[in-house]
Amino acid sequence: MPGEITIAPPVRIIAADPQAEMRVHYQTVLPGLGYRLLSTAGTGRELIENCRQQRPDLVIADCKLSGVDVVDSAEEVCKAGRIPFLVTADHFDPQQIRRGGADHFWAYLMKPINRGHLEAVIPFILRRFKKMQAFLQELESLRLQAKSGPCFQPEVG
């Protein structure tokens, strides 16, 4: 119906942190910001399994996940499709940024993380991710057009 307002479903998030207090923090803060927290995980393996089952729109993960680290977790999760990762840390680790930053990490927040940090960075990540997805779709469309032949026919005569 024209003029009808549609409401987008809440962004679906999975949060992973080895500290139980941080998982509780996400359970409190994220729904208060209008996001849907699908689940929390304490290890990299749990994060991967939760993502496989629930396909979130965004992952928030601490860099100190046990078992499977955050870079390897992100690579495994993103095999099924791109998902932006917001990585959190107690200290800055440039090596980890180099390993995961180019492909999977969309932001890196230093702890302690408060509501204001999440309120600012999550919409920023989601907007940039949406623009990147649109760009990739346009690129794929152009690639398919180029495969099917010239985009225009020169005038003959």
Span 71-112, pLDDT tens digits: 899 999 999 899 999 999 998 877 777 776 667 889 999 999
Please tell me the predicted confidence (pLDDT) of residue 105.
87
Collapsed DSSP state (helix, strand, coil) of residue 56: coil
Report the C-alpha gap between 132 and 126 in whole angstroms.
10
Percent of the chain with pLDDT over 90: 63
Report the C-alpha gap between 140 and 132 in whole angstroms.
12
Please tell me the predicted confidence (pLDDT) of residue 36.
97
Q: Minimum mean pLDDT among 4-18, 59-73, 138-152: which range?
A: 138-152
Amino acid, res. 58? L
Global pTM reads 0.84
Q: What domains can you pick out in the chain, each with its CATH number?
A: 12-147 (3.40.50.2300)
- What single-letter DSSP state applies at residue 9? P
For residue 42, give the nearest of 58, 27, 29, 32 by alpha carbon.
Answer: 27
Reported in sequence order, the residue ranges of 90-154 that DSSP labels E, i.e. its strands, are: 105-110
Please tell me the predicted confidence (pLDDT) of residue 142.
82
Whether 152 shows a pLDDT value over 60: the answer reads no
Please tell me the predicted confidence (pLDDT) of residue 136.
84
Contact by Cβ (8 Å): 43, 19: no
Whether 1 shows a pLDDT value over 70: the answer reads no
Residues 6 or more apart from 62 whose CB is under 8 A from it? 16, 17, 18, 19, 22, 70, 87, 88, 89
- Mean pLDDT for 50-76 is 94
